[in-house]
């Protein structure tokens, strides 16, 4: 045996001892880890949190804005520190020369502005913000469903590779024993060298299969760990089998499609997005209406020539009536109409996509169930044929080719059974996911 095959064989045979130190992971534990630490799910949840904060910030515009304001002015000549008022002129103690004049002036105080009419920006802005929050929340829930489905499917894929590796190791161990027996029979003349060489050739192939399944197991476990938001443990995961045969839970394609179109979070998000575009169109139309702002100002006015600062207070109503803006608002309305048509088409495309996914899921379920039943039958037959061919070979009535073929079919049957079982379970989960009806649990 050359060095390369010895290394591959050593790596493959390390599995049982390595698994003694592996981290135990049930499906329920994997789901809980994903709900807690999945990066994709955490990102979706943080986006929903940010959307809730944006909604609160948008509503806060109704209360106006209070600002601290201040200016420092230096003029070329002395100017009045406060605006001219009648009281300054009728005061007999003051003449024009006694008025508060200075070229260096400081003005500071508070300004409060509250919108009374805002061309629909407050009302429509609130509705757009709430709908945006709803979009983010629907997407977060859909992301949770998607992560859970992916974790379950990945867990089962890892179980498939686990059983395939165990079957390959059993096959390899059986051929190693057969090779030792064949070499002994060749020495005593009970077997032709060519038959012994056939066993050795089959063993080399089994070693290659074992190494390939070991690599597939490492990849499947690394992918599972990534979904859980962590790196794969050095010794891997020790997974628990899910042996129960699932049942097909849904009655008819029409009901499945109807459930998907009502409950899918990603579709609900797209529909809310269409409503957002509708309100943005309303906002564009209301840009043609007036704006009215109430403004209150309190200032302290100071200058080097004054003994004490002078206070001034002011209330103002600011009215803005749009007349001409280079047709900007007119073209914005055309843009809003086009955006609304595009949003409705995206909604329709999403509905068709989901209906197609339901058909695909039902097809997967039918196919997976048939493969599972075939794998179950193949598994039982493979074990029995291998047992019979081995017995015939021991009695001298069998052919080496038939025996080796039976051993290979036994391996294929064992692998097909587990692949069929877990693919069937994942197909049930996938149909549950695309119809927004939840999935199967351990």
Count the domains in the chain: 1
What is the per-residue pLDDT for 19? 42
Question: Strand 310-320 relative to strand 237-239: parallel, antiparallel, unpaired?
Answer: unpaired
What confidence tens digit (pLDDT) does each residue in 71-125 have?
Answer: 999 999 999 898 887 776 666 555 555 778 899 999 999 999 999 888 788 888 8
Give the predicted TM-score (pTM) of the model: 0.81
Task: Identify whether 406 is part of a domain.
Answer: yes
Distance CA 286, CA 289 (A): 5
Task: Identify whether 301 is part of a domain.
Answer: no
Task: Identify whether 112 is part of a domain.
Answer: no
What is the per-residue pLDDT for 146? 94
- Here the CATH number for the domain that contains residue 346 is 1.20.1600.10
Residue 229 near residue 37 (C-beta atoms within 8 A): yes
Nearest to residue 126, comparing CAs of 60, 30, 215?
60
Residue 424 near residue 371 (C-beta atoms within 8 A): yes
What is the per-residue pLDDT for 393? 76
pLDDT band at 7 (very low <50, low <70, confident <90, very high): very low
Tokens 């809003």 label which residue? 336
pLDDT at position 29 over 90 = yes
What is the per-residue pLDDT for 246? 82
What confidence tens digit (pLDDT) does each residue in 278-320 have?
Answer: 999 998 988 888 999 999 999 999 999 888 898 999 999 999 9
Task: Identify whether 307 is part of a domain.
Answer: no
What is the per-residue pLDDT for 129? 93
pLDDT band at 228 (very low <50, low <70, confident <90, very high): very high
Task: Identify whether 75 is part of a domain.
Answer: no
| Mean local confidence (pLDDT), 223-228 | 94
What is the per-residue pLDDT for 95? 54
First to last CA, the chain: 44
Task: Identify whether 19 is part of a domain.
Answer: yes
> What is the domain range of residue 163?
3-25+119-290+328-434
Q: For the purposes of burial, counting CB atoms within 10 Å of the CB of 52, is it exposed (0-12), middle (13-18) or buried (19 or more)?
A: middle
Q: For the purposes of burial, counting CB atoms within 10 Å of the CB of 208, is it exposed (0-12), middle (13-18) or buried (19 or more)?
A: middle
- Residue 282, C-beta contacts closer than 8 angstroms, at least 6 positions apart: 120, 124
Question: Strand 237-239 relative to strand 23-25: parallel, antiparallel, unpaired?
Answer: parallel
What confidence tens digit (pLDDT) does each residue in 242-282 have?
Answer: 988 887 666 688 889 999 999 999 999 999 999 999 999 99
Task: Identify whether 52 is part of a domain.
Answer: no
pLDDT at position 352 over 90 = yes
| Mean local confidence (pLDDT), 420-431 | 93
pLDDT at position 4 over 60 = no
pLDDT at position 371 over 70 = yes
Task: Identify whether 37 is part of a domain.
Answer: no
């Amino acid at each position: 045996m050359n060095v390369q095959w010895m290394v591959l064989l050593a790596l493959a045979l390390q599995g049982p001892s390595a698994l003694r130190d592996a981290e135990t992971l049930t499906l329920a534990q994997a789901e809980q880890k994903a709900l807690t630490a999945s990066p994709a799910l955490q990102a979706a949840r943080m986006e929903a949190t940010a959307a809730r904060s944006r909604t609160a910030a948008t509503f806060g515009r109704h209360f106006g804005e209070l600002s601290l304001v201040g200016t420092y002015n230096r003029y070329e000549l002395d100017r009045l520190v406060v605006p001219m008022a009648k009281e300054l002129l009728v005061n007999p103690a003051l003449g024009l020369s006694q008025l508060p004049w200075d070229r260096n002036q400081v003005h500071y105080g508070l300004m409060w502005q509250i919108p009374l009419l805002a061309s629909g920006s407050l009302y429509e802005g609130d509705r757009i913000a709430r709908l945006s929050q709803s979009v983010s929340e629907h997407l977060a829930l859909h992301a949770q469903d998607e992560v859970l489905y992916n974790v379950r499917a990945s867990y089962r894929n890892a179980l498939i590779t686990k059983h395939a590796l165990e079957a390959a190791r059993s096959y390899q161990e059986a051929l190693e024993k057969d090779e030792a027996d064949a070499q002994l029979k060749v020495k005593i003349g009970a077997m032709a060298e060519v038959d012994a060489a056939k066993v050795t050739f089959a063993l080399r192939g089994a070693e290659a299969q074992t190494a390939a399944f070991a690599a597939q197991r490492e990849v499947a476990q690394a992918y599972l760990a990534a979904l859980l938001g962590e790196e794969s443990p050095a010794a891997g995961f020790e997974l628990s089998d899910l042996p129960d045969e699932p049942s097909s839970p849904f009655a008819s394609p029409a009901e499945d499609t109807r459930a998907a179109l009502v409950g899918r979070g990603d579709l609900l998000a797209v529909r809310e997005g269409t409503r957002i575009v509708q309100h943005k169109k309303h906002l564009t139309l209301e840009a043609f209406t007036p704006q009215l702002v109430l403004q209150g100002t309190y200032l302290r006015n100071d200058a080097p020539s004054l003994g004490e600062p002078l206070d001034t207070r002011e209330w103002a109503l600011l009215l803005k009536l749009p007349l001409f803006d280079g047709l900007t608002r007119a073209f914005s309305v055309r843009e809003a109409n086009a955006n609304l048509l595009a949003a409705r088409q995206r909604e329709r495309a999403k509905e068709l996509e989901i209906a197609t996914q339901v058909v695909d899921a039902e097809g997967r379920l039918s196919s997976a169930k048939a493969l599972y039943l075939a794998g179950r039958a193949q598994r039982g037959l493979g074990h029995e044929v291998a047992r019979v061919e081995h017995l015939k070979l021991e009695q001298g009535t069998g052919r080496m080719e038939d025996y080796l073929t039976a051993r290979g079919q036994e391996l294929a049957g064992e692998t097909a059974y587990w692949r069929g079982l877990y693919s069937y379970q994942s197909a049930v989960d996938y149909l549950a996911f695309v119809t927004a009806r939840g999935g199967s649990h351990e």
